[in-house]
């Protein structure tokens, strides 16, 4: 059985069996939980349906959070994606729109899948759903993509962190981008080693990202960071699929993320005491929302 302490171990196991990371993890989890593989796949399909519903509801033009800080921008991004004018192409823009939609829906108290956290809930679903919509990826393959993403996430959670309070936003949106990048590669037919390279590249490009929520709410800049993180995931996946390798092995990258997270000052780890939260506008927003004197 796998211990999920090293992505390289999972890659080696998949390559030795001549199969994918998702197939290795699915078999391992079925054995560990003493359930049929189909039961786990059905659970993933259920998660996928929640993601799909959140993306749909989050696209509403009239959606607003309780604070009024966010809502409606995903609708604008979706319209732009459909216009044919997106600089990086429709899939890229559509993924950004879906990431914003799910994050805005979360801020409006909608039901989401924390993947791996509520603050980064839009990244992985957006990548999966955009591939389904634009590339015709089947639901079964999308569910397997979620298993690959979860496998990477389990290692990252154990060897670094997925908590903004512990490691900054690199631990939330960065981990989500890494998970999404790996899932994209596998869904596109890439090898297990390509999945690992995509995961590493995504983390490297998000390394050091701080967590500085304005007014302590998971809205500004969190919603737009979800869009930025899925963009990072798509780019990392494309690089890996092109044959670009990470010079630093993926597990060393994860270890570096842990070290960087530990060195980030507490003002930039979800406390709303630094970064964008400490700007004059950020402070004015917090005062407007919470100072009732």
CA dist list (Å): 242 to 96, 124, 199, 288: 22, 21, 14, 49
**Would you say how long the chain is, in residues?**
293
The CATH architecture annotation of domain 7-290 reads: Orthogonal Bundle (1.10)
Q: What is the pLDDT of residues 231-284, one digit of tens each?
A: 999 999 999 999 999 999 999 999 999 999 999 999 999 999 999 999 999 999
Tell me the β-bridge partners of 269: 211
Look at phi and psi of residue 34 and say left if phi exceeds 0, alpha if psi is from -120 to 50, else beta.
left
195, 186 Cβ separation under 8 angstroms: yes
SS3 state of residue 184 = helix
Residue that is written with structure tokens 């699915």 in the block: 26
Residues 191-201 have a mean pLDDT of 99
Residue ranges of domains in the chain:
7-290
Residue 192, token pair as written in the block: 């297990």
Look at phi and psi of residue 123 and say left if phi exceeds 0, alpha if psi is from -120 to 50, else beta.
alpha
Q: What is the pLDDT of residues 156-185, one digit of tens each?
A: 999 999 999 999 999 999 999 999 999 999
Stated as kind and residue range, the H or E segment containing 146 is: helix 139-159
Residue 109, token pair as written in the block: 């108290």
Residues 102-116 have a mean pLDDT of 98
Q: How confident is the model at residue 291 (pLDDT cuts 50, 70, 90)?
A: confident
Residue 93, token pair as written in the block: 């823009």
Query: What's the angle, vertex CA 120, arms to CA 171 and CA 135, rounded to 5?
Result: 115
The distance in angstroms from the start CA to the end CA of the chain is 58
Report the predicted TM-score, pTM, of the whole model to 2 decimal places.
Answer: 0.97
Question: What's the mean per-residue pLDDT of the chain?
Answer: 98
Residue 281 and residue 178: Cα distance in Å, rounded? Answer: 31
Stated as kind and residue range, the H or E segment containing 11 is: helix 7-17
Choose among 127, 92, 99, 102: nearest CA to 226: 99
Residue 275 and residue 279: Cα distance in Å, rounded? Answer: 7
Residue 33 and residue 222: Cα distance in Å, rounded? Answer: 35
259, 209 Cβ separation under 8 angstroms: no
């Amino acid at each position: 059985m796998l211990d999920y302490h090293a992505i390289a171990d999972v890659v080696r196991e998949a390559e030795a069996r001549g199969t994918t990371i998702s197939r290795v993890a699915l078999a391992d989890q079925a054995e560990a939980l003493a359930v049929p593989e189909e039961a786990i796949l059905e659970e993933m399909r259920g998660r996928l349906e929640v993601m799909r519903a959140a993306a749909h509801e989050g696209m509403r033009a009239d959606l607003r959070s309780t604070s009024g800080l966010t809502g409606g921008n995903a609708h604008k991004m979706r319209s732009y994606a459909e216009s044919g004018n997106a600089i990086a192409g429709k899939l890229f823009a559509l993924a950004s729109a879906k990431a914003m939609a799910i994050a805005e829906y979360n801020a409006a108290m909608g039901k989401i899948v924390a993947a791996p956290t509520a603050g980064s809930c839009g990244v992985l679903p957006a990548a999966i759903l955009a591939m389904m919509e634009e590339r015709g990826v089947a639901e079964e393959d999308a569910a397997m993509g979620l298993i690959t993403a979860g496998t990477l996430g389990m290692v990252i959670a154990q060897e670094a962190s997925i908590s903004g309070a512990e490691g900054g936003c690199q631990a939330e949106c960065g981990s989500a981008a890494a998970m999404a990048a790996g899932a994209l590669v596998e869904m596109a037919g890439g090898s297990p080693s390509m999945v690992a390279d995509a995961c590493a590249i995504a983390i490297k490009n998000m390394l050091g990202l701080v967590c500085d929520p304005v007014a302590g709410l998971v809205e500004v800049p969190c919603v737009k960071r979800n869009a930025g993180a899925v963009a990072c995931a798509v780019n990392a996946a494309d690089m890996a699929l092109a044959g670009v390798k990470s010079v630093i092995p993926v597990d060393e990258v994860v270890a570096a993320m842990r070290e960087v997270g530990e060195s980030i000052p507490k003002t930039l780890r979800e406390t709303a005491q630094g970064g964008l939260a400490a700007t004059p506008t950020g402070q004015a927003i917090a005062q407007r929302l919470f100072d009732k004197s």
